[in-house]
C-alpha cells in the first residue's frame, strides 16, 4: 500500500504518490482521504500555529481546509504536489482568518470610539463586545447557503463570480443569498442598537 508522509522523498516518487492519492480522493475514496488527513494533520497544525499563534484556532483552520477538500473533491487537480497544495491551502486559510480578525478589530474600535464620544461611558467596550457577539450569533443563525455566501464575500473577500464558481451556483443566486443575509443581519443588529440607545437614555 502506498503511504503518505510529511518527510521528504525522491521527487518522482513524491509526484506519483501525490497524483495517486489526489486521484483517489477526487473519486470519493474516504479511506485515502482519512490517511492523508492522519499523515498531514500534525505538521499542518504546527505550521498554522506559527501563523495564527493559537493552537485551537489553528486546529479549526486546518480542519476547515480538509472539510473543503472533501466537499469539493470533484474539483481537485491531480497534476500537482499534495504536500505543497495542503500547505498553500492552510496558508491561505490562516491569512483569511487573520484578515477577518483585523476587520473585527477595526469594527470594535470604530464603535467603541462612537459610544465613548456619545456617552462618555467607560463601559462602551462592554457594549461593543456584546454588539460583536450579537453579530456573530446573527451570522451563525443565517440559513446555511446565506451564511456560506456571506462569509465568502465579507470575510474571504471573494467577488460574486468567484463565489458562484466555488459553490456551483449562479451569480443571481449569490445575489439573492447576499440580499437575504444582509436583510436578516440588519434587522437583528438594528434591534440591538435600538436597545443600546434606550439604555443610554
Angle between helices 160-167 and 171-200 (to 10 degrees): 110
Integer Cα distance of 152 and 154 in angstroms: 6
Instruction: Give the sign of the dihedral formed by CA 69, CA 72, CA 75, CA 78.
Output: positive
Percentage with pLDDT > 70 across the chain: 68
Per-residue model confidence (pLDDT) at position 43: 93
Per-residue model confidence (pLDDT) at position 14: 45
Integer Cα distance of 4 and 31 in angstroms: 13
- How much is the mean pLDDT over the chain? 76
- Per-residue confidence at 85, pLDDT binned at 50, 70, 90? confident
Q: Is 152 exposed, middle or buried (0-12, 13-18, 19+ CB in 10 A)?
A: buried
Integer Rg of the chain from CA: 21
All domains in the chain, ordered by first residue: 1-94 (1.10.1740), 121-201 (1.10.10.10)
What are 123-180's pLDDT values in tens digits? 555 566 666 777 777 788 888 888 888 888 877 778 888 888 888 888 899 999 888 8
What the block records as the C-alpha cell of 141 is 443563525
Other Cβ atoms within 10 Å of 64 Cβ, number: 15
155 Cβ contact list (under 8 Å, min separation 6): 96, 99, 100, 103
Beta strands per DSSP E along the chain = none
Per-residue model confidence (pLDDT) at position 140: 80
**Helix and strand counts by DSSP (H, E) for the chain:** 8, 0
What are 10-63's pLDDT values in tens digits? 444 445 577 888 889 989 999 999 999 999 999 999 999 998 888 888 898 999
Amino acid at each position: 500500500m502506498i503511504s503518505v508522509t510529511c518527510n521528504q522523498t525522491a521527487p518522482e516518487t513524491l509526484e506519483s504518490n501525490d497524483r495517486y492519492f489526489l486521484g483517489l480522493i477526487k473519486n470519493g475514496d474516504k479511506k485515502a482521504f482519512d490517511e492523508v488527513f492522519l499523515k498531514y494533520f500534525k505538521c499542518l497544525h504546527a505550521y498554522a500555529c506559527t501563523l495564527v499563534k493559537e493552537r485551537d484556532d489553528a486546529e479549526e483552520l486546518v480542519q476547515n481546509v480538509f472539510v473543503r477538500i472533501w466537499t469539493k473533491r470533484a474539483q481537485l487537480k491531480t497534476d500537482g504536489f499534495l504536500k505543497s497544495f495542503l500547505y498553500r491551502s492552510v496558508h491561505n486559510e490562516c491569512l483569511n482568518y487573520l484578515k477577518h480578525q483585523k476587520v473585527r478589530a477595526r469594527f470594535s474600535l470604530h464603535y467603541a470610539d462612537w459610544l465613548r464620544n456619545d456617552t462618555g461611558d467607560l463601559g462602551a467596550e462592554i457594549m461593543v463586545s456584546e454588539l460583536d457577539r450579537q453579530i456573530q450569533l446573527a451570522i451563525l443563525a443565517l440559513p446555511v447557503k446565506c451564511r456560506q455566501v456571506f462569509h465568502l464575500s465579507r470575510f474571504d473577500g471573494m467577488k460574486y463570480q468567484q463565489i458562484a464558481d466555488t459553490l456551483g451556483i449562479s451569480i443571481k443566486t449569490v445575489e439573492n443569498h447576499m440580499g437575504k443575509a444582509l436583510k436578516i443581519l440588519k434587522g437583528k443588529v438594528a434591534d440591538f442598537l435600538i436597545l443600546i440607545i434606550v439604555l443610554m437614555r
